[in-house]
Amino acid sequence: MASSSGNPRRSMLYHVLPVLVVFLSSSIEAKTRNPPNRRLMVLLVDGFRWDYADKHNLANFKRLESDGAKAGYMQNDYPTLSYPNYYTLMTGLHTENHAMTGNFMYDPDTKKFFLIGTNKDQFLPLWWDHGEPLWVTADLQNKSSYMFFWPGCEVTIRGRDPTFCDAYSKVPSIQEVADALDQGFLLITNGTADMVAVYSEQPDHYGHKYGPDAENTRLVLQDIDREVGKLLDRIAALTDDEKFNLVIVSDHGMTTIDPSRTINITEALTSEPGLYITIMESAALASIYAPNQEAEDKVHTLLKDFSDHMQVYRRQEIPDRFYYKNGPFVSRITCVADLGWTILQPLQPEFPKKGLSDMQGFHGYDNGEIDMRGIFYAYGPYFQPGSRVDHIQAIDPYSVMCDILELAPSPNNGTLSVFEPLKAVSAGSRDCPSVLPAWFFVVTLLAWKAVW
């Protein structure tokens, strides 16, 4: 082993270099917090239909059209249910690729059930590890993420967790959403958080209970609109160097239902024993898990011409445009109701209810239906004020959120280029993060050369 004792300059370097390394390493670590214009707040408003801003005269969502960016609508993934689209939005993958193909699922291989809000098995990796959500992408690249009421943020996915998760436990009140937006604003502006995500369920809750056109639904949408307005005011009051980005999305739309339009398949499926292991979902679709090929054939024969308002598909017959049939938890038989019709099945034979009352609204239908469309609004330095695109898909926001946060995205089905018309000219610079490592290399090289 060579000694440095014979060269004073070299000896000094051996003492100074570790200090230099520690200093520069700490500087590099500090640089992992994004500058404000590369920070992001995401607000997911469950069940916010694409036309609600106009239909219910929501002033601050209309303000986003002039001061921010907008897609005319967002086509959500099939089925137009919550969990499938929560995960599509946050992974950029179609449902068949991230495997979250329902709010309620069954795995014939493990005989496990995914039942939102009711069983512990819903947190098993087998349901979640097919996709990499944004907060995992962020954690893998040393960015911080703070999640409020976001379904699934409490699940360890691919061995990773968000920096902070206030787990969903009940429908968050408007005040709880307002408080989360306030906390998120502070976390971003004080440099703690690179990304904050807040979930609001009230529009979906009221849309189910009262219907998309009801006065009660309009009132809760106006409550959300007011909170969005307060947030926009706070961002607008920041200096240009302090401003961050806001993205607002929804997981699906909503349509009106009533008990006069039902398709009751209960009698057909109970005509003989052994036709199904279980049936997941109801109303807009029914997933029938037949135990074998013989049972599948019988179920298909019983149901294929059962109603003019229901399509019955074997797994391989499901339309390719749904990007659904190749999911590992998709059933042998899938029944798809026409818009506004509800399927009643043996395990859920009653018309869907909220509390003691019949539901007035539902979703989950064909994602080509206009009423199933969601929203995309954005505001901040990344986006050109007053810009608009005709439409995007739910697979697309993941890419643009990664771009805002300067993250290398996980492989996905989305397209970043669809956002080009929405981007501000100054949104694209990524040079700064690479300067410090280069400077560290040059300084070290020169110091080393000076003593040799």
List 374's β-bridge partners, or say none.
74
Higher pLDDT, 436 or 116: 116
| Residue 47, pLDDT score | 99
- Across residues 298-320, what is the average pLDDT? 98
Q: Is the dihedral of CA 164, 234, 377, 204 positive or negative?
A: positive
Q: How far apart are CA 392 and CA 40, in angstroms?
A: 19
| Displacement of CA 189 from its chain's centroid (Å) | 23
Which residue, among 322, 372, 312, has the nearest Cα to 343 in the 3D structure?
A: 312
- pTM for the predicted model, two decimal places: 0.88
Residue 8 has a pLDDT of 43
pLDDT of residue 450 exceeding 80, the answer is no
Mean pLDDT rounded to a whole number for the chain: 90
pLDDT value of residue 33: 76
Residue 19 vs residue 115, higher pLDDT: 115
pLDDT of residue 126: 97
**Positions marked active-site:** 82
Domain residue extents for the chain: 36-93+131-255+365-418, 262-362
Question: Nearest CA to 166 among 204, 203, 193, 191?
Answer: 193
Q: Does domain 262-362 have CATH number 3.30.1360.180?
A: yes
For the residues 410-430, what does the mean pLDDT come to? 84
357 falls in which pLDDT band (50, 70, 90)?
Answer: very high
- pLDDT recorded at residue 30: 43
Q: Which helix (DSSP H) or strand (DSSP E) does residue 195 occupy?
A: strand 195-200
CATH superfamily for domain 36-93+131-255+365-418: Alkaline Phosphatase, subunit A (3.40.720.10)
What's the pLDDT score for residue 428?
46
Residue 117 has a pLDDT of 84
